[in-house]
Each structure stands twice: as C-alpha cells, then as structure tokens.
Structure 1
Amino acid sequence: MFGILGGGKGHKIKGTVVLMRKNVLDFNEIVSTANGGVLGVAGGLFGAANKVVGGIVDGATSVFSRNIALQLISATKTDGLGNGKVGKQTFLEKHLPTLPTLGDRQDAFNIYFEWDESFGIPGAFYIKNFMQAEFFLVSVTLEDIPNHGTIRFVCNSWVYNAKEYKKDRIFFANKTYIPNETPTPLVKYRKEELENLRGDGTGQRKESDRIYDYDVYNDLGNPDKSADLARPVLGGSSAYPYPRRGRTGRKATKRDPKSGTPTSDTYIPRDESFGHLKSSDFLTYGIKSLSQNVIPQFQSAFGLNAEFDKFDDVRGLFEGGLYLPTDVISKISPLPVLKEIFRTDGEQALKFPPPQAIKVSKSAWMTDEEFGREMLAGVNPCLIQRLQEFPPKSKLDSTVYGDQTSTITKEHLEINLGGLTVEEALNGNRLFILDHHDAVRPYLRKINDLPTAKSYATRTIPFVERRWAHRSHWLLNESLPHPRGDEFGAVSRVILPADQGAESTIWLLAKAYVVVNDSCYHQLMSHWLNTHATIEPFVIATNRHLSVLHPIYKLLLPHYRDTMNINGLARQSLINAGGIIEQSFLPGPFSVEMSSAVYKSWVFTDQALPADLIKRGMAIEDSSSPHGLRLPTEDYPYAADGPEIWATIKYGCKNTSFSTTSQMLLLHKIPNSKAFWKELVQVGHGDKKNEPWWAKMQTREEWIESCTTLIWTASALHAAVNFGQYPYGGYILNRPTQSRQFMPEIGSPEYDELAKNPQKVYSKTITGKNEALKDLTTTEVLSRHASDELYLGQRDGGEFWTFDKEPSEAFKRFGKRLAEIEDKISGRNKNSSLRNRNGPAQMPYTVLLPTSGEGLTFRGIPNSISI
C-alpha cells in the first residue's frame, strides 16, 4: 500500500476513514419508537432496523462516499494570517469492507487529498456530513506523508448533518501539546474548538449538541405531577450543597420555577453517549425498562403487601424460580436485555442467578464473623474506622440535637475484652467502629414518620482478638430521637450478642438494622455521591478548558467514559422522585437529600486512598513500607489491595503525563490549566469553593496527586463499591435495604410472635418482596460488565495518546504492574491465614482484580464509572 500517487505537484495523500453507521442498536432511536411498554421496546429493537431516516437509506455504503467530505488543515504552514492552511474539500471514495483492522460493525473508505510541499504536514481536518442521519467517526489515517510518515487521528465522535453546527467539526492528530507548545498554525483551531464545547450558557440543549455546562440538581422532583414528588434543589445553597451536573436547559416546572421539567430523554453531550457502539447500553437501557415496565409488573402480580414468610422463600428466587402470571411473564421476556439478566425455566418461572453470598453456604450470612468480614471486604469497605476515643461522640450540633454521645459504657465493653481495659484496647488498636449515627440521626424522625420505615441511628463496635470478628466481642448501640424533642438528645440502648432463644433473633435483627443503615449509606454516599456525583464536574471542566491536544485531557479522558451517560440515566430512573432508590431504600423521599448533608463534610484530598485510610485510623504512615503505609489490621482486604493499585495509578500519572523532561513542570503557569482547576473548584464544586484544603496546583506534585485521586475514584474506588452489589445484596436477607418495624419489646405480642416464628418476624422487619425484587433486578444490572468494557491499563482500540517513546513505554510498564498486582491478590485470596479473604461465605475478595470478562463476574476495574 502506498501513500503518494503521481509525481511533482499534484501529489495525492491516501487516507483511510473508519466510521460506523447509525443502526438498529442505537437506543436513542429505540426510545423514540417504544411507546407500548416492554413489548413496544422489543418491537422497537427489531423495527428500527428498517427505519428510513429523512428519506435516505444511510446504510448503503455508496451514500457515505457521496455525502461525507474532509478538508486537511496544516500544522506547519499558514494561510498568511497565521492560521493553518485549509486544503480542498474531498469526498470519501471506495468502500473497503475487508480491511483486517476493522472492528465490529465498522466500515472503511479510501480518500485522496491533493497535496504539495507548500501545504506542509497535516495536523487537523474539517469534516462535513451532508446526510440527514448522523454517523460515528472512529478514525482517520493518512499514510506516508513525505518527510513525516503516517499520521493518525483518533476521533470516536458522532458527526451530525453539517447544518446542525455553527462551526465546522474539527479533529486533531493523535499528538499532544501543552498550550504554549501548540504549533502556531493550530492555535486558532484549538481555541475555537474549546469555545464550541463551552457554549454560551443559554438555551435548551438538543441531541446533536456537544456543549458542556453546569447546573444544579433541580431535575429530581416532579412537582407538576404531584406535590408528593417535589424535591429540594441540591446545589447552590448552604442548606443543600452538592456537586454540579451537566446543564440541559430544560424549562422550569409550573409549580416551582427553580425546578426543571423531568424528561425521559435527558440531554448529555453527544459523545458522552456511545449509543449503538457499547453493549452496556443494553444494560443502561435495561435500568429504564426495569423502572418503567418490569417493576410495575411485579407490583401488579404480588400486590402491595407481599411478604416473604421464611428464608426458603428468598432462596427460592434462585433455586426454583419466581412464578408469575402468564400475562406478566409475557410482558417481561421479549426484551433482550432482560432475557440476558433473568433465567426463565418454563412459561411462568422467572429465575435469578444465585448471588455469591449463598453459593457455598446458605446460612453463612447469619454468622457474626461474616457480618464483621463484610465491613472490611464487602460492598462498603470504606466506612469502618479504628475507635480512637471512648465513648464515641457525635459531631452533630448539640444545640439542635442535644447530647448524642454513645451510651456504651466501659462496663459494657470490658466484660468482653479478655482482661484488657478500654484504654489498653484502644492503645493496642483492638477496638473499631462502624458509625452510621451522624448520617442517619438528622433524618431519623422524618424516616420513622414514613408509613413503612422504622429504624435507629446505629454505632457498632467490634473488638479484635486473634481474628476480626469473634462472636462474643460485639456491641451495638441503637438510638431513637427523644420523644420530648431533638434538643433532649436520644433514647438509646446497647445490645449484646446472644445465640439461643428469642434473644438470638433479637441479635440477628439488631445486626439487620445496622446493615440497612450501611446499605443506604453505601448506595447514597459511598457509591453515588463519592464516585458518580463528585466526578461529573471534573468531566465538564476538563472538556471546557483542556483541549483534546492537552496531555492531561488525554490522561483523564478514558476515566470519564460513559459517566455523564449513566448519571443522566440515574436522574431519570434511579435517584429521581419516586424512582427505584426511593421505592426500595429506607430513607425514601429523603434519600438523595441525605447525601447532600454528607457532602457538607466531603473533602477532595481525603478521597486519596492513603489519606482516607489514615483519617479512619485504618493505616499509619510508615516510610519503611513499599507504599508508605502500615495497617493496624493486616487482614483488611480493601486496604491491603488498594494501596498497590493506588501506587500504580500514581506511577502511571507521573511517568505518562508528568515526566521530568516535560514542560508539564510548568503547568501552574499555563492559562488553560489554571482555568480548568479554577472553574472546577469555583463552579463544578462551587459549594465547596472556599474550603482551604483544595490544592493550589502550583507544583508538579500537586498535579500528580490530584490526577491520581481523580483516576482512583473513577476506577478502583468505584469498582470496589459497585461490582459487589449483586454478589452481596442480591440475597436480601444478607443485605436488606429497609427496616419496616421496630425491635420487639419483651412482653409484647410482637416479641411472642418472634419467639414462635423468628424467620417470619425477621422477614416482616426487613425489605418486603416487592422492594426486594426491585433491589435484585436493579443491582443485577448494575453489577455487570459490558463485552466491550475497557479496564485499567487499556485504551480504546489499543491506542495510546501519543507516539512519543518515553510515555508510551511507561504506559506499557503500567499495564505490567497491574498484571503483577492481579497475581498478588489472587495469591492472598488463597492464604488460609487471611480469614477475611474468604470468610464463612467463601467469597474471595476479587473486586480489585484489574481485569474481568463480560457479565456478572464479581471482579474487574473499569477505567471509568460506566455503569
């Protein structure tokens, strides 16, 4: 294959354009055609294949050849005004269906550009689409440029009809420049592209837009539909601080001018939604289908008061299947995404895959050891702390809530400390605490006023002997608001373990109240707030201020993949008023509002894993350690595996984007870099803009640390709190999300019932059948990996962002280090002396293994928050 045709003037540069057509799997099309429930969706899936857009059948490859034009832009020669020369408009030519490098559903075309030496080296190109329908541009490759070689443009972007854009679409070569090193002919084009992405802050966004802008969370409620669906605006006030989300510009509701009108088709910048390219769209669209179609069918089938009567009823969901009326199963089964998620055996049986929590042992979840192990190796391993003061105190305002100090006494503890005093146990790093008290207490009165919610603010204290959770070494402290008013403090009691009679069920219920609090804190704070919500402002600020040519943009882009997409979907179906979270989690309508209260104490620098572990007392700085940390509790899988991942991410940042030979050392002096961080702090996280802990970004070390923290949050932290959701929470007895009645008091009829039928009382106390099915179906979707997921150390199409040797080699070493870590983690999981690696449930700690296959694998660290 040769790149220059002819001789002298009139040479032609040969190029290859790879694109993908809009087709049947584009879910934007399916949404618009599916108006008839699940059957309508299924019809949309198959009917969209024959849809004619604007009267033109864009599937014909000859149409692409006649209707897509490119113009090269020089990176070395100017037009006399200082801007890169623009070449002649050139159309695609021959279709190349057998090109060996093509991916699934990709098409390649030849294109020939007129060229001579006066044009110089191409550094960018304009592209115009003259068709009615959009297409996805994958890449453009120019071959054998004289005195240069091959030039590669990695595009990965939707291109709409040229009339949709105020400025022509432009793409730059796969090379990086900090702004002051950008070739002079490209400076104007780089600046214009950033201006296009920022927009002007006005108007309602449409599908083809690529504009990144900020807004508050004003779209969760629906006051025009019902006063019960009104929700406070989160963000922009001291009462409800919150990170910003992407602006859509939708019209205000009639009843509340501060709230935006909800919609089933929320705008996100077009390239943030990969549409038909990602099989994960089956999963994300599945969430919407669950919310709008499947869950209402469950409600219809079982009614409002459906209950599990015994533990075998719950296990039956996985062993024998759930028997539904024929009309219900017929409305669920046609949707392909749900066929993949649910296993159907027989016309009326809906069978779920068994969660790992019960694959080996059906009763391990009931043990104290497993209860404690999941604090360290479960789906929410980031909340446990080493107890550093006694008694535990509250940070709540005592003028509002009175004295909220724990009522646990030294006498309660010391009977189980093996002869140690409380002080000796504290000094020996033997006492820990799982503390949900301050997060739950401000909302507890409101929660307990809900018809089917009854709970406590809890503190749980384990004492560590030779292993993490010896049966007799537990204390639970449960608190309720004082009946005379909040200012009078709390009504509390301490519960100790028991293993016989009704008291053993009381102890099991006491643990359930703790797990309900932990499930809610995990979903709303550890998962949604600390990863999804806090990362979105970074996505917006990066696209507004860091050009695609910027090395930091190249570094961060893979860690933003699909985040705005899944967050937009969450606002439609998961965290919205009346959505799945409000329906199936304890706080109900106060769910996301509670996460706003926790955001008040959010600190970006504390999201760095070493800082987080040290702050919680779960690690101690130790310069002699390979990672600078020593663990008081060695058998803490999250803290044992995490620092190695963290250190490797930091190595990757330092050596691929912040090498000592680069002028990245001077980042703090570059206007674009300064503007990126300034806007992120002052707008993206504007409610925290006056906090003193924000890095000033004046040194290379500050940039490395901040980028490492960001990538850790978007990749490993999210993996740790996401992909265990179904393995642990799919079995609702192990991880309930609701508590619906208070603990029975001795002498009451409820206590007598508990003594006679403990399983029924336990089942009636925790999440009911309808809500359990909502949890089960949703977490099964959210715990899955797509077939084309990209994991830490991988890049789209295998492309690194630069051909420069030093960072390219460093990226390869980054991948090798991750492979070595995977081997180490697998080795630790086989070490029988590390009991928390498997525990009674025999669930190895695998969520921080870097790689994974497709599906429900309980492992793998994707680059980004993509589900």
Structure 2
Amino acid sequence: MFPNPFHRSQMVKGTVILMQKNVFDIDSLTSATSPAGLIKGVINLVHGIISYIIDTYIMASSVDLRLISSTSADESGKGKVGKETSLNVAGQSEFDVHFKWDSDMGIPGAFYIKNRKQREFFLVSLTLEDVPNHGTINFVCNSWIYNAQNYKTERIFFANKTYLPSETPAPLVYYRQEELKTLRGDGTGERKEWERIYDYDVYNDLGEPDSKPQLARQILGGSSNFPYPRRGRTGREPAKKDPKSESRNGFVYIPRDESFDHKKSSEFLDNLLKSASQDFISEIEIECNYKPEFDTFNDVHAFYDEEVPGLTFPRPEVIQVNQSGWMTDEEFTREMIAGVNPHIIKRLQEFPPKSKLNSQDYGDNTSTITKEQLQLNMDGVTVEEAIHNKRLYILDYQDSIFPYLSKINEVNDHTMGYATRTIIFLQNDGTFKPLAIELSSPNPKGDRFDPISDIYLPASEGVESSIWLLAKNYVIVNDSCYHQLISHWLNTHAVVEPFIIATNRHLSVVHPIHKLLLPHYRDTMNINALARNVLVNAKGVIEKTFLMGSYSLELSAVIYKDWVFTDQGLPNDLLKRGVAVEDPTSPHGLRLLIKDYPYAADGLEIWTAIKSWVEEYVYFYYKSDANIAQDSELQAFWKELVEVGHGDLKDAKWWFKMQTRKELIEACTILIWIASALHAAVNFGQYPYGGYILNRPTKSRRLMPKKGSAEYAELSKNYQKAFLRTIPPKKDILTNLTVIEVLSRHASDEQYLGQRIEGDNWTSDSQPKEAFKRFGKKLAEIEKKLTQRNNDETLRNRYGPVKMPYTLLYPSSEEGLTCRGIPNSISI
C-alpha cells in the first residue's frame, strides 16, 4: 500500500535561544532581610549547584517541544499538535531544532515546551524557518521554564501574531483561553516561586505583629478609611497575633516572569549590598571615632570626599557647580517646577487659602497669612491683582500633614514637624520668589481646636535670615515626605501594579493591548515586592528616615481617597492645578500660565508623542468603536481593574466606560505616561537633588526656636549647627543616601521609551512596527529640542542658581547616575 502523497511528513527547521540559570545566580539572596532568610538563600544556592551537576552530566537532553497548528484543527476543534522533538541544552544558548510536520497540519501558531531538567532556564525565543506556504515564524517567549512537574498545565507559547479575541484563528481559541485560565489560578494556596499566577491582595504584609506589637501596621485596602490599590497575592500564612495580616518569611512571591533578569538582578544586588553598609554604621562609629552629627556645612561637603572609610558617595549634581545655590529663594521655588517633585504647586485662586479638613475634628485650618504680609514683597502688585493676573501660586501641605502632627510630635524618637503652606509670586522675568511660609502645629488643647500657626517672611540678614532658612527647611521636609510617599510610591509604583495583574489575567499575549502595554510593566512587581520587604515596611528605610515614621504608608492611603485616574495624564493634571488653560491653537491643546515651567513644558512634548503613538496603534487594530465594546478580553480586563484592582474606588464616576477608541487611547496613554515619564521625573532626580541632604531633608527633629530659648541663642550664634541639629542625624542620612543612590541609577540593560527588548519581532504586523519606529525617532527629536531649551539662558528656571539643567525628561540615558532618561517602566 502506497503512502498518501497529501499527508507526507517534512522537517521544519528552527532555532531556539535560551539562557541557562547561572549556578551562582544570586536571585535567591535578594529577598533576604533576616539571618533566616540569608540561610535559606544559601541553601537554595547549594541546591542550585547540585541541580547543575545533575542537569549537565546526567539529564542533558531533557527539553521537549511540540508545534501546534493555527489553521488545522482536530475533532474537538483544537489546533492539531505535532510530534515531539528534543533538545540537548548543555553548555550553549542557541540550538538548532527540527520538527516533523505533516503537510495537513497547516501553519504553526503555538508550541508546547516541557522541561525535564532539574533547573529552570530562561526561554528567549523560537524561530521557525521556511515553514511551507508561509516562511519564517517568530515566537517571542522571554519566560522562565521550570521542571514540568511543577506545572499543572503545559507551558505554551504563541507566535508573534496579534489578534483581537474575535479574530483568533479557530484552532487557537482553546489554547488562548486556557492559558489565561492558568494565569488567573484559583485564588487559593501559598504561591511558589515557579508559578505564574496573577491575583490580588490588600497591603496586609507591611507589619510584623508576631515580632513586636509596635511593628503591627494598618492594613491598607478593603476599607473606606484606608483604601488602596491591590498588590499581587502571595498567599503566605496569616500572622498568629493578627489573622488579618500576612506573615513575613523573607520570600515574597511574584509571578516568575516578573523577576529581574540575570544582569539586572546582579547589578541591583551589588548596589543593594553596598547600600546595606548602613547596618554596619555602629561598628564604624566605634572603629573610626565616627561623629554622629555634622557641625558645619563644610562637614557635609567633606562627607562626599570619603570621610568614612568604605562609605563613599558621589557629589550630588545640585552642588557640583555652586555649593551654596540651594540656600537661595530662587532655587527654593525653582525646584517646585524643575526639581524632583515638580507637579504639586497650584495656582492660588482664592484668598485666604482654605482647608478641606473637617473643622469639628481639626478646627479651622483656613490660612492665617494676611494680604499685608504678602504685599511687602510683591513689587507694588496687590493680592487681588496678582490673583486676577494668575501670578500667585501655593505649595500646600496643610491638609495632608496636619492630621498626623499630634501623633508625630508626641513620639519619643526626636521627630517633630509642621504642616506647611508656602505662597509664591511669579515675577516678570519668569522666576518665582516666596512671599510667606505658614507653619501650623496642633493646638495644645486638642486637635478639635484651631491649629497654632506662625507666619514667616523672607529675610536676608541677621538671625531672621536663619529663621527663614529653617522655615524653608520645614517646607521641604513636608515636600520630601509627600514626594516619596505619594508622588513616587503611591502615584506610580502602587497604582500601576493592579494594571499589570489585570492585564495578565485577562489580555492574552496575542492581544494588541497586551503587546502595547507589556514593555511598561517590566520589573515593576519585583521592585514593589522588594519595597514592601525593606523600604515601606514597618521600621523600613522610609519609616526610619522620614517625618511620617510609622504613619508613612497610612498617609498614602488617606491621599489615595482623592486619586483620580483620569487626572494622572499630564494635560488634565496641569488644568486641574490651574497652571495651564485650554488653547486649541497650541500644539498640545493648552497654554502654560508659567511659560518657563521645565517639567510641564518638557512633559507635554513626551505626552503628545506617547499619545500619537498609542492613537496610531489603537486605530490600526480597532476599526470602529463597536470593536471596543465587542472585545471580550478588553472588557473583562477593564471591569476587573476597576472593580477589584482599584476596587476601593470602583464607584467613582470618573472611570472610563471603555466603550470607545478615544477612551482606550486616553487610558493607555495615561498608563504609559505614569509608568515611564512620570516615574522618571520623580525618581531619577532623587540623588542629584536629595543626595545633598541640606537641600532636601527628610525629617525634622526640632521645632522652630522661640525667642529667649537656648535653641534661639544657638541659632543666633551658630546657624549652621542649629540647622544641622534640626535635620536628620548622620546615621539617618547615611541610610537614606545609600538607598536613593541605588534608586536613582539606571541599569546597563535598561529599556527606554521607544525601545523594545524583543527588537522588531514583538509583532508580525508591519504598520505598528513602522509606527513604533516613528515614535522612537520623534523622541530623539524631542531630546534635541529639550537640549536647546537648556542652552537658552533666558529660561532661568531651567538651570537656576545651582547651574543644574533640567534633564529628567530627556528620553535616553547611559547607565548609572545620570539624572536623565525615561525607562519604559517602573523598574527601580
């Protein structure tokens, strides 16, 4: 009997690229926050060595692959699965592979892979060559593959085709749906490191109630008092003393593909270990006669010249040219629009400034600043005229900080502060000058009584100038706390995590919106997990070194009550703060009222480029608004994001209904803006500006000295020493600097806006690829434009008295501490 000529087998050649796990990989040590965690990491390292020996010398040929058809289905309607082929993966990274592929199998659209080896490997890609009737097919994988026994379902990867759910080839529908089910899991059990399950939980792992009662922390999320975005669920055992809290065991699960890759992980750990030198400060004090306090500003400058053996810090950019420029009023106000927290000031539209705090709980918090006090320095302009002409602005932390002052000022860890308001005046030359600072304290009679407020005015001579410098210091302490806890942590890191979870649970890897958003999620869940372990946890770095102490994350939950997703986009933010007005004739659709506003001016260039790219992309895949409403995966994604991921705010009226292409474009643009440019603006200037602690102190230890007191006499005699005793002590400064130096650095393999780790293979569709290339070219043009702006000396806010140009929104960067560059994602 002759074989059927129409069903003959043929060989399809492919190339597999993978990276085997380094036997000395140190990922297992990155989460060690205790001796027990370190021991566990060492055990994992030894286990890795044993597994390496077994894999290399005993089980070298133990990786199997099978192709799945996208055009030919079996009797059940699922794509036909081809014959298995095996790989010998010992000692190399690129492998030739040959598949038997019957002629009636059609065109491959996915493949199964099974790892029988002891150790996991990182699968980069599979490329099939000369597929009959098709040509080359690329599979972009970028995923960790563990031993097959660890999985309940087979590992599957899809070709780089892009399909809306309704357009998926029928033989692939089942595989697309099953993969999403796998990623959703069943919501039970403690997650293991090899799993890929994305699920939600509240922030109930910040405290350690089983260790000490003082280390218990408020659960954030799931309540109206303390709403919060959801984090990734780990499923760890509940704490014994508080069953609603999760125990902390050193290991924090995140889906395996959310982990840093080898190179970045190694660099991060290396920097983190250097930063951990803070734990040895006590020993250094003993061995080196280490002084716990700075006595003069020159002592601080010497600190960057290796004053302490083994602890060296680069000289922050803010003092590289002018060491005293930070003390000027012009620099104080310039950093409100060109510093590390440049998007908080608002235009003052009524006088006096009022409060939204409940007067029955906190008294009347209306500002006590008078018009007469302001008009002393307004160049003959009245308050009414300045408000009408849009020349008065305010940096207002009264409502956010005041409710916590009684608690902060009563604790015995030498932390005392104020709630502050600062009114500033826009001058004819485009720069700002401060007019008055209001410092508010709780009434000794109780919080329900009106606060005690003192007003401080600019001064340049005598003890009054020292008082004024301290007043500005208290403002910056408020600003530093708000920046780190709200602008940085809450409004970028925390709010993006639910988007990552919802995307992976409901948008298939072949969905166009998954492909659009994927670069902007890289490493975010990982860095957030690390932050919960060592930065924002009970007695973590933030609690130790910032004014809010143990109330730090609680404050961010209170502020989250007023978070509005649609206002996170730059144009809406500028309009809401009153620093811009709509202008259809402008290239960006609005006009800045502060013409020389570096963050806003540069940001609008980036925002417009992002939106143009997203618009072109969305219109390619969605030909009508009806396609949006009919997209089952997109609708499921958005519904769960709103109702679960940001579920504490689900009843807000501002959420997009996600029924039109315009809504989808705006939502994706906002999300990409948050993850890329907004995070870059508030993160990578932390050390360049804040590494010089005099410029950005994080907490205060004393209140303003009163006339006749010993502190006032000290201030009159030696203002530098008095200032240094007010800001954090040297040990806290060391702790803070070691961390923000790491957080301000770019890794050598960082992916910047306009780049993709997959190169040209991220999709097979040519038009989106060409649009993305245009996006990259546009960003390069924008960078040239921003450089030209910084060379324009008439724009004084762009470099200021410290001669430090505003570069935080330059799209590109080299590795290291550069104070520039917009990574695709919140990756550090």
- TM over 0.5, shorter chain: yes
Q: 1:488 to 1:447 in 2, by over 3 A?
A: same
Aligned equivalent of 2:547: 586
* Amino acid across the alignment from 1:719: A
Aligned equivalent of 2:355: 394
Indicate whether 1:297 and 2:284 are aligned: no
- Contact (CA 8 Å) 1:94, 1:111: kept in 2 or not? no
* Amino acid across the alignment from 1:185: P
* Amino acid across the alignment from 1:58: D
Indicate whether 1:353 and 2:302 are aligned: no
Distance apart, 1:229 and its partner CA: 0.3
Give secondary structure in 2 for the equivalent of 1:177: coil
Q: Distance in 2 between matches of 1:30 and 1:486?
A: 46
Aligned equivalent of 2:628: 667
Give CA-to-partner distance per residue, 1:800-842, whole Å, 9 cap, x none.
5322222111111111111110001000000000001101111
Give secondary structure in 2 for the equivalent of 1:854: coil
Q: 1:717 to 1:665 in 2, by over 3 A?
A: farther
* Amino acid across the alignment from 2:427: E
Give CA-to-partner distance per residue, 1:157-176, whole Å, 9 cap, x none.
00000010000000000111
After superposition, residues 233-632 of structure 1 pair within 5 angstroms as: 233-276=219-262, 278-283=263-268, 286-287=271-272, 289=273, 293-302=276-285, 306-319=292-305, 321-323=306-308, 348-451=309-412, 452-469=414-431, 473-632=434-593
Q: 1:442 to 1:34 in 2, by over 3 A?
A: closer
From 605, 624, 628, the counterpart of 1:644: 605
After superposition, residues 113-124 of structure 1 pair within 5 angstroms as: 113-124=99-110
Distance apart, 1:784 and its partner CA: 0.4
From 121, 124, 129, the counterpart of 1:138: 124
Distance apart, 1:59 and its partner CA: 5.2
Q: 1:25 to 1:819 in 2, by over 3 A?
A: farther
Moved more, 85-94 or 147-156: 85-94
* Amino acid across the alignment from 2:740: T
Distance apart, 1:466 and its partner CA: 2.0
- Structure 2 unpaired stretches of 5+: none
- Contact (CA 8 Å) 1:34, 1:40: kept in 2 or not? no
Distance apart, 1:30 and its partner CA: 3.9
Q: Distance in 2 between matches of 1:231 and 1:35?
A: 19
Give CA-to-partner distance per residue, 1:623-665, whole Å, 9 cap, x none.
0000001011111100100011011111111112333764675
Q: CA RMSD in A?
A: 2.3
Give secondary structure in 2 for the equivalent of 1:522: helix
Q: Distance in 2 between matches of 1:31 and 1:655?
A: 40
Q: Distance in 2 between matches of 1:839 and 1:450?
A: 38
Distance apart, 1:52 and its partner CA: 2.4
Give CA-to-partner distance per residue, 1:827-859, whole Å, 9 cap, x none.
000000000110111111111000111111110
Q: 1:699 to 1:494 in 2, by over 3 A?
A: same
Give secondary structure in 1 for the equivalent of 2:508: coil
From 51, 54, 60, the counterpart of 2:51: 54
Moved more, 233-242 or 410-419: 410-419
Distance apart, 1:301 and its partner CA: 3.0
Q: 1:160 to 1:40 in 2, by over 3 A?
A: closer
TM (norm. structure 2) is 0.96
Distance apart, 1:483 and its partner CA: 1.2
Q: 1:312 to 1:44 in 2, by over 3 A?
A: farther
- Contact (CA 8 Å) 1:440, 1:457: kept in 2 or not? yes
Q: Distance in 2 between matches of 1:24 and 1:832?
A: 54
Q: 1:95 to 1:447 in 2, by over 3 A?
A: closer
- Contact (CA 8 Å) 1:585, 1:738: kept in 2 or not? yes
After superposition, residues 122-271 of structure 1 pair within 5 angstroms as: 122-271=108-257
Aligned equivalent of 1:850: 811
Q: 1:541 to 1:752 in 2, by over 3 A?
A: same
Give CA-to-partner distance per residue, 1:716-735, whole Å, 9 cap, x none.
00000000000000000110
Aligned equivalent of 1:757: 718
Q: Distance in 1 between matches of 2:143 and 2:708?
A: 68
Distance apart, 1:413 and its partner CA: 1.3
Aligned equivalent of 1:767: 728
Q: Distance in 1 between matches of 2:168 and 2:504?
A: 18
Q: Distance in 1 between matches of 2:90 and 2:629?
A: 47
Q: 1:31 to 1:838 in 2, by over 3 A?
A: closer
Give secondary structure in 2 for the equivalent of 1:351: coil
Q: Distance in 2 between matches of 1:704 and 1:72?
A: 35
* Amino acid across the alignment from 1:14: K
Q: Distance in 1 between matches of 2:28 and 2:714?
A: 54
- Contact (CA 8 Å) 2:512, 2:621: kept in 1 or not? no
Q: Distance in 2 between matches of 1:453 and 1:630?
A: 42
Give secondary structure in 2 for the equivalent of 1:140: strand
TM (norm. structure 1) is 0.91
Distance apart, 1:415 and its partner CA: 2.1
Distance apart, 1:357 and its partner CA: 0.8
Aligned equivalent of 2:80: 85
Distance apart, 1:26 and its partner CA: 2.7
Give CA-to-partner distance per residue, 1:299-329, whole Å, 9 cap, x none.
443389821111111111212x132xxxxxx
Give CA-to-partner distance per residue, 1:641-690, whole Å, 9 cap, x none.
00110111111111123337646751222221111001000000010000
Give secondary structure in 2 for the equivalent of 1:279: helix
Indicate whether 1:729 and 2:726 are aligned: no
After superposition, residues 703-742 of structure 1 pair within 5 angstroms as: 703-742=664-703
Q: 1:436 to 1:467 in 2, by over 3 A?
A: farther
The ranges of structure 1 where at least 4 consecutive aligned residues each deviate by more than 4 angstroms after the TM superposition are: 31-41, 47-51, 93-97, 468-471
Q: Distance in 1 between matches of 2:769 and 2:192?
A: 38
- Contact (CA 8 Å) 2:9, 2:103: kept in 1 or not? no
Q: 1:462 to 1:655 in 2, by over 3 A?
A: same
Q: Distance in 2 between matches of 1:567 and 1:626?
A: 36
Aligned equivalent of 2:64: 69
Give CA-to-partner distance per residue, 1:528-561, whole Å, 9 cap, x none.
0000000000000000000001000000011000
Aligned equivalent of 1:819: 780
Indicate whether 1:22 and 2:21 are aligned: yes
Q: Distance in 1 between matches of 2:432 and 2:161?
A: 57
Q: Distance in 1 between matches of 2:342 and 2:89?
A: 56
- Structure 1 unpaired stretches of 5+: 1-5, 98-106, 324-347
Give CA-to-partner distance per residue, 1:484-505, whole Å, 9 cap, x none.
1222121111100111111111
Q: Distance in 2 between matches of 1:240 and 1:588?
A: 17
Give CA-to-partner distance per residue, 1:252-280, whole Å, 9 cap, x none.
1111010000122100000000342x325
Give CA-to-partner distance per residue, 1:351-374, whole Å, 9 cap, x none.
211110110011111111111110
